[in-house]
Amino acid sequence: MNRVPLIQSPTPLHRLDRLSSELGLDLWIKRDDLTGFAFGGNKGRKLEYLIGDVLASKAEVVVTCGSAQSNFIRQLGAACARFDIECAAAVMDLPYEDSQPAGHVSSSSGNVLLDRILGVRLVEMPDGTWEELYAAAESLALSYEAMGRSVYRIPIGGSSPLGAYGFLMAAEELKAQADPFNHVVFASSSGSTHCGLRHGFFGTSTEILGIACDPEPEIADDFAELASGLEALAGLASHLEPEDFVLDFRFVGPGYGVASEEGDAAIVRLARAEGIFLDPIYSGKAFAGLLRLAEEGRVSGRVLFWHTGGLPSLFV
Ligand SMILES: *Cc1c(COP(=O)(O)O)cnc(C)c1O
């Protein structure tokens, strides 16, 4: 695998003392908000392998898609800037599956501001379905190819098998850093974080528990398909089915990309107890999930919250 170092690793791991005693847990946090790369976040790990492959392919342009507030596009834009590769993305403010959630996002602040500074070409589409967004990305890629430029396509959130490989390696990083945890809780969406961690802890006593930030239960099928790609890429003997992915869908709130009341309350709770910030679209909802799972007794003992970053969208 061609790896280009982008992040400072291992990322810090530490105990949350006040919340541990408040919740009756031995609660730890893995700080992927502190990767030291382009405002942090889980996408840096995927990009070390994705950019390695982009460079090997000698592509001139990278094309992807996402919501306008995508943390992936921001980190991809930074990686592309470093290697003088053009970065273009089809974006919608709030893409959806069946019906649009009520909510509003600013399309000039947060990640969009950072994308502009980085020189990312954002092709803004009217809001529509995920399928429409993927089709817009494909037409964007074809338009570059029609101009004779070579294009590398990256799926939403960097969730290709190579992206998942970044999180397979992250699992090894954690194992080398600490004694085993009973549960690892994190925000799950496009799936490569979940696939990499699930495979990395396959056959161990550590439960990998994703808090879904997307309301569609079918994402477990997509995750299993992505996991097969990772199995082939990394030559893994383990195999995952959709039911191997533990996902809790209760904390999505109004919809993908829209803040929830419980998530916002969790942001305030972690900030006031430990001085650590979360974001409203992913990590805040995931932490709300962890708080509730602790209250329900569904998680106990040594629990790890994997902070996946996302901080620029606090300023949206
Ligand atoms: C992308 C993202 C996630 C979800 O990771 P996936 O690998 O897409 O499932 C979680 N948190 C933050 C802050 C993210 O940007």
Average pLDDT over residues 100-105: 83
| pLDDT at position 265 | 98
Q: Annotated catalytic residue: which of 70, 107, 159, 190?
A: 70
Domain boundaries, the chain: 13-42+160-315, 43-158
At 214, is the pLDDT very low, low, confident or very high (cuts 50, 70, 90)?
A: very high
| pLDDT at position 99 | 86
At 131, is the pLDDT very low, low, confident or very high (cuts 50, 70, 90)?
A: very high
CATH architecture of 13-42+160-315: 3-Layer(aba) Sandwich (3.40)
**Is 283 close to ligand 1, i.e. is its CB under 6 Å away?**
yes
Same fold, 13-42+160-315 and 43-158: yes
What whole-number distance in Å separates Cα of residue 53 and Cα of residue 61? 13
| pLDDT at position 176 | 98
Q: What share of the chain has pLDDT > 70, as a percent? A: 100
Residue 223's φ and ψ, nearest 5 degrees, are -65, -40
| pLDDT at position 105 | 79
At 272, is the pLDDT very low, low, confident or very high (cuts 50, 70, 90)?
A: very high
Local structure of residue 157 (DSSP, 8 states): G
**Three-state secondary structure call for residue 198:** helix
Asked if pLDDT for residue 71 goes beyond 90, the answer is yes
Asked if pLDDT for residue 106 goes beyond 80, the answer is no
| pLDDT at position 274 | 98
**Is 75 close to ligand 1, i.e. is its CB under 6 Å away?**
no
**Three-state secondary structure call for residue 70:** coil
At 140, is the pLDDT very low, low, confident or very high (cuts 50, 70, 90)?
A: very high
| pLDDT at position 41 | 98
| pLDDT at position 78 | 98
Average pLDDT over residues 252-265: 97
| pLDDT top residue among 37 and 104 | 37
Mutation choice for ligand 1 from 189, 195, 248, CB with most ligand atoms inside 8 A: 189
- CA of residue 97 to ligand 1 center, whole Å: 18
**Is 33 close to ligand 1, i.e. is its CB under 6 Å away?**
no
- Indicate the pTM of the whole model: 0.98
Asked if pLDDT for residue 158 goes beyond 90, the answer is yes
CATH number of this structure's domain 43-158 = 3.40.50.1100
At 101, is the pLDDT very low, low, confident or very high (cuts 50, 70, 90)?
A: confident
User: Over the chain, what is the mean pLDDT?
Assistant: 97
Task: Please state, in angstroms and as integers, the Cα–Cα distance from residue 214 to each residue in 95, 101, 242, 268, 286, following that order.
Answer: 11, 11, 16, 22, 12
Structural contact between residues 227 and 240, judged by C-beta atoms closer than 8 angstroms? yes
| pLDDT at position 104 | 77
How would you class 235 by CB atoms within 10 Å of its CB: exposed for 0-12, middle for 13-18, buried for 19 or more?
A: exposed
Asked if pLDDT for residue 179 goes beyond 90, the answer is yes
| pLDDT at position 171 | 98
Q: Which residues are CB-contacts of 217 (< 8 A; sequence separation ≥ 6)? A: 247, 249
Q: Is 238 a catalytic residue?
A: no
pLDDT tens digits along 7-26: 999 999 999 999 999 999 99
Average pLDDT over residues 51-58: 98
